[in-house]
Structure 1
Amino acid sequence: MDTPKSTKMEVIIPAYRMHTQSFVNVLEGISEEDALKRIENKTNHIVWMAGNFVNMRYGLGWVLGLQTEDPYNDLFFQGKALDESIQYPSLAELQKSFHEVSPKVYQKLLKATDEELDELFEIGMNVPFVKETKLNFAGMCLGREDYLCGQIGLMRRILNYPGMKYDMNENLTY
Structure 2
Amino acid sequence: MDTSLSAQLNMIIPAYRMHTQIFMNALDGISEEDALKRIEGRTNHVAWMAGNFVNTRYGLAGVLGINEKDPFDELFFQGKALDTQVTYPTLSELKANFHKISPVVYDALLKITDARLKEEVPLHMNISFFPETLLNFIGMCIGREDYLCGQIGLMRRILDYPGMKYEVNEQLKY
TM-score by length of 2: 0.99
The root-mean-square deviation of aligned C-alpha atoms, in Å, is 0.6
Question: Distance between the aligned counterparts of 1:153 and 1:30, measured in 2?
Answer: 11
Q: Indicate the SS of the match to 2:87.
A: coil
Question: Distance between the aligned counterparts of 1:4 and 1:152, measured in 2?
Answer: 29
For structure 1, the residue ranges without an aligned partner over 5 or more in a row are none
Establish whether residue 143 from structure 1 lines up as the match of residue 111 from structure 2: no
Question: Distance between the aligned counterparts of 2:124 and 2:46, measured in 1?
Answer: 27
> What's the offset of the Cα at 1:137?
0.3
Question: Distance between the aligned counterparts of 1:150 and 1:4, measured in 2?
Answer: 27
- The equivalent of 2:5 in structure 1 is 5
Q: Indicate the SS of the match to 1:137.
A: helix
Establish whether residue 132 from structure 1 lines up as the match of residue 132 from structure 2: yes
- The equivalent of 2:44 in structure 1 is 44
Question: Distance between the aligned counterparts of 2:86 and 2:172, measured in 1?
Answer: 32
Q: Indicate the SS of the match to 2:26.
A: helix
Segment of structure 1 superposing worse, 71-80 or 120-129: 120-129
> What's the offset of the Cα at 1:124?
1.7
Segment of structure 1 superposing worse, 33-42 or 127-136: 127-136
* Percent identity for Structure 1 against Structure 2: 66
Letter in 2 for 1:144: R
Over residues 28-66 of structure 1, what are the superposed CA-to-partner deviations in whole Å (9 max), with x where a residue is unaligned? 000000000000110000000000000000001111111
Moved over 4 A (4+): none
What pairs with 1:157-168 in structure 2 (closer than 5 Å)? 157-168=157-168
Establish whether residue 78 from structure 1 lines up as the match of residue 100 from structure 2: no
Question: Distance between the aligned counterparts of 1:17 and 1:125, measured in 2?
Answer: 27
Letter in 2 for 1:42: R
Letter in 2 for 1:18: M
Question: Distance between the aligned counterparts of 2:93 and 2:113, measured in 1?
Answer: 33
Question: Distance between the aligned counterparts of 1:53 and 1:13, measured in 2?
Answer: 17
Question: Distance between the aligned counterparts of 1:144 and 1:113, measured in 2?
Answer: 23
Question: Distance between the aligned counterparts of 2:85 and 2:114, measured in 1?
Answer: 44
- The equivalent of 1:15 in structure 2 is 15
Question: Distance between the aligned counterparts of 1:83 and 1:131, measured in 2?
Answer: 32
- The equivalent of 1:154 in structure 2 is 154
> What's the offset of the Cα at 1:162?
0.4
Q: How many residues align?
A: 174
Letter in 1 for 2:29: G
> What's the offset of the Cα at 1:84?
0.8
> What's the offset of the Cα at 1:147?
0.3
Over residues 112-154 of structure 1, what are the superposed CA-to-partner deviations in whole Å (9 max), with x where a residue is unaligned? 1112111000112222111110110000000000000000000
Question: Distance between the aligned counterparts of 1:116 and 1:12, measured in 2?
Answer: 15
Question: Distance between the aligned counterparts of 1:126 and 1:153, measured in 2?
Answer: 32
Letter in 2 for 1:79: G
- The equivalent of 1:111 in structure 2 is 111
